[in-house]
Amino acid sequence: KLYEDMRNRIEAVMNMGQITEEIRKQHKGFGEWNLASEPQNHQTILQILIDGRDGKAVDVEGQPLPTLVYLSREKRSKYHHNFKAGAMNTLIRVSSRISNGEIILNVDCDMYSNNSESVRDALCFFMDEESGHEIAYVQFPQCFNNITKNDLYANSLNVCMEVELAGFDSNGGPSYIGTGCFHRRETLCGKKYSEECEREQTTRNNNERIEENASVLEETCKVLASCSYEDYTQWGKEMGLKYGCPVEDTLTGLSIQCRGWKSIYFTPERKAFLGVAPTTLLQSLIQHKRWAEGDFQIFLSSYCPFTYGHKMIPLKLQISYCLFVLLAPNCLPTLYYVAIPSLCLLKGISLFPKISSLWILPFAHVISSSCAYSLGEFIWCGGTLLGWWNDQRMWVFKRTLHTSLVFQKPY
């Protein structure tokens, strides 16, 4: 009933195109909105909903509550908002003024925590006495709660999460995949790793308290979320998440690793975070196209792992990044694979040796070995036989979709 009431109120506001005075009086945050406010054109809206410094901020059991802040950054039509990277950078700046916590958890808006121990697990890596000071971020797998048994559109990413990213971890550290990741704040702000980081970690004192009351703090922090704050600064370049690339997460993770930091990939038995995967073929293809386009832009840019990461990260990690950044060019052999045999069949051209010939054995060995390996890997990661077949079918769809991406403008 509460959900239905909330939905009806939202729909009523959307239909009227404005917020009534009655609703404004009920909710303080709505006082910031006016008739000129639009999703892409509005001022900064910031409200400290729960002030963790207030001794009265407790739950029903009397336990103290953490600070909770609502933030909607300023957006203007003449300023590019830089999508997720711009939002993350704004949150980094505002949170540094309000709480300045050393660890930042990044979770997509369609994901939620499924394992309360994930925070403790991440802190165990950061606080390790021997190598904790070297860790920039702890990455958890990206998992979904709406995947069907046979995964019709191959959106589970099980092989990627359980095999490929685990390989990244063995070769020098996983890439940052944009969600389910615990970051060390200073690494997101552009700090380079040095031996002094270990001494700084043991001597750091974060007991400094902000003396302003909540209302004053809200007003001072709004400047940090304005459109013009980043003008003539290094935000989006040397500080925060990188701008200008559809896969700002991969690019940011690579940049952090090239500054000397290490990363950890951790897969607990109980999934740490769950989200929502695409539910239609079109949604799945659009998402995959964006990933492939952004990764290939990285390869063509000055951030190519082999040039940008030269002598900065291990060669085996540079090669590991090729798994992502060279996803789009793989469309060329795939197109040959799906087109040439069909054309030869139509024209009556013999592309492979006859079954009765011994020369069929090498071809049969390669085809059967590839399929057997792929099937075994998929089953080992929790998939089904029909799910593997769907994955092979979507593999052809997604690979041939990349044809238009091979000739992209470099980043």
- The pLDDT of residue 36: 54
Residue 41 has pLDDT above 70, yes or no: yes
Task: Quote the percentage of the chain above a pLDDT of 70.
Answer: 91
- The pLDDT of residue 269: 93
Residues 6+ apart with CB under 8 A from 163: 377, 381
- The pLDDT of residue 330: 87
pLDDT per residue over 378-406, tens digit each?
999 999 999 999 999 999 988 888 766 55
Is residue 271 within 8 A of residue 141, CB to CB? The reply is yes
- The reported pTM is 0.89
pLDDT per residue over 321-370, tens digit each?
999 999 988 888 888 888 898 899 898 888 888 888 899 999 999 999 99
Q: For residue 92, which of 73, 77, 109 has the smallest C-alpha distance?
A: 73
Which stretches of 38-159 are DSSP H helices? 83-98, 118-126, 158-159
Query: Residue 381 — left, alpha, or beta (φ > 0 → left; ψ -120 to 50 → alpha)?
Result: alpha
For the chain, what is the mean pLDDT?
A: 89
Which stretches of 301-359 are DSSP H helices? 305-308, 315-325, 331-347
Is residue 325 within 8 A of residue 296, CB to CB? The reply is yes
pLDDT per residue over 206-257, tens digit each?
555 566 788 888 889 999 999 999 999 999 999 999 999 999 999 999 999 9
Is residue 236 within 8 A of residue 88, CB to CB? The reply is no
What is the residue whose two structure tokens read 């997509």?
108
Is residue 400 within 8 A of residue 335, CB to CB? The reply is yes
Residue 84 assigned as binding residue? yes
- The pLDDT of residue 33: 67
Residue 74 has pLDDT above 70, yes or no: yes
pLDDT per residue over 157-187, tens digit each?
999 999 999 999 999 999 999 999 999 999 9
- The pLDDT of residue 410: 54
- The pLDDT of residue 8: 86
Residue 237 assigned as binding residue? no
Average pLDDT over residues 291-303: 93
Residue 179: count of CB within 10 angstroms of its CB? 19
Q: State whether the Cα torsion 110-114-120-121 is positive or negative.
A: negative
pLDDT per residue over 255-296, tens digit each?
999 999 999 999 999 999 999 999 999 999 999 999 999 999
